[in-house]
Amino acid sequence: MIEQLASDSQRNQHLHGPRSLTELALLFLRLGATAMGGPAVHIAMMEEEVVTRRRWMSREAFLDFLGATNLIPGPNSTEMAIHIGRVRARWPGLLVAGISFILPAALMVSALGWIYVRYGALPQLAALLYGVKPVVIVIIVQGAYRLGRSAVKSAWLAVLGVMALAATALGVDPLATLFGAGVLAGIVYLRQKLAANAVAAGLPIVAGTALAAPSVPFSVGFLFLVMLKIGATLFGGGYVLVAFLRSDLVSRLHWLTERQLLDAVAAGQVTPGPLFTTATFIGYVLGGTWGAIAATIGIFLPAFVLVAISGPVVPLLRRSTTAGAVLDGINVAALALMVAVSAQLGRTAIVDWPTLAIAVAAGTLLFRYRLNSAWLVLGGGVTGLLTLWVRAFAH
């Protein structure tokens, strides 16, 4: 018996020891440097590596953790990496897996930020972004479509989504829209549960409206707080991030223009790893190296904290039908934000016949043939460069 306990202790020490941390670091550094195509692709690659090849956990356990990431705000694929690290090597693994997955993309996007700040006015880079931005809009639309297929589960949720879309069009803060939709969905569910014939009507969609705020001078510390708030409250995946960034950095603080925001999203698309590293690009453009560091830490820090806290709580939440109803409301509001921001940014990205043609071609390849979005972004950039050369040759 004592020998068996000693053997188990040695096996557990091996599982959670330095070798396990090294395996986690190498795996997630590689995934972070090569996983292109969005969260769905990231998670599929993780499943292949962690479940099929390495057998670190069962497919059922993997799906449980994937469900858990949908119950908390933040970047789903990054949170999945953090969950895997925690299971594999406890608290050190949580940090190693998460940081290793984020680091390659953050470094690449920072390099793009440096190029953008130094050479952003060059025609070649402008042409590259000219072709990429219509593709980015199509990818966001596809994300909204895919979310809508699972989020709009009933006529009531469709109505709630339309109300959230109207609130967004009127300039209501995205956080207030998400919060209000979640609360309203929970209230309606509870009233229906208590009395089947009771109908909740006329309730406000949002908790409050965004107050017009004057431009605030930029500071690295305030940028950190803005990104921290976004990372701690954003439901709906990476593409809803664009709506939050636009609300705070373009409309409220006036630190970015619509064009700069689209360029930042394009930078996040052309690099592997989590789309949330769009914040890294923005941080570099606004505040150099320290701005990039502050924005990256701010937007990803809540994911580490929430994954660490949510472990024992998630099973309880998943069994709660009320919590599920609230999440349904948040999801349709997130869908509305994605639809609104794609329309708003589309006016900046699709500016002439060539960009319209790029968008239509990208939409056909994405929706009909399901081409990987990374190839679409590359194709858009090449098309933009070719358009520049043709125009230059014609003149």
Confidence of residue 10 (pLDDT cuts 50, 70, 90): very low
pLDDT at 197: 45
Rounded Cα gap, residues 278 and 10, in angstroms: 43
Per the structure, the complete domain to which residue 295 belongs is given by: 3-394
Q: Minimal CA–CA distance to 218: which of 165, 173, 270, 255?
A: 255
Most confident of 43-52, 63-72, 79-88, 166-175: 79-88
User: What's the rounded mean pLDDT across residues 55-60?
Assistant: 84
Residue 228 in contact with residue 299, Cβ under 8 Å?
Answer: yes
Confidence of residue 64 (pLDDT cuts 50, 70, 90): confident
Task: Inform me whether the pLDDT recorded for 261 exceeds 70.
Answer: yes
**How many domains does one find in the chain?**
1
Residue with the bigger pLDDT between 131 and 148: it is 131
pLDDT at 198: 36
pLDDT tens digits, residue range 293-327?
Answer: 999 999 999 999 999 987 667 556 656 777 778 77
pLDDT tens digits, residue range 193-207?
Answer: 775 443 333 434 343
Most confident of 69-78, 273-282, 308-317, 327-336: 273-282
pLDDT at 330: 76
Mean pLDDT of the chain: 81
Rounded Cα gap, residues 67 and 323, in angstroms: 13
Rounded Cα gap, residues 358 and 319, in angstroms: 45
Task: Inform me whether the pLDDT recorded for 1 exceeds 70.
Answer: no
Query: 358: how many CB neighbours lie within 10 A of its CB?
Result: 26
pLDDT at 4: 39
119-123, 142-146, 232-236: the lowest-pLDDT one: 119-123
- What pTM was computed for the model? 0.73
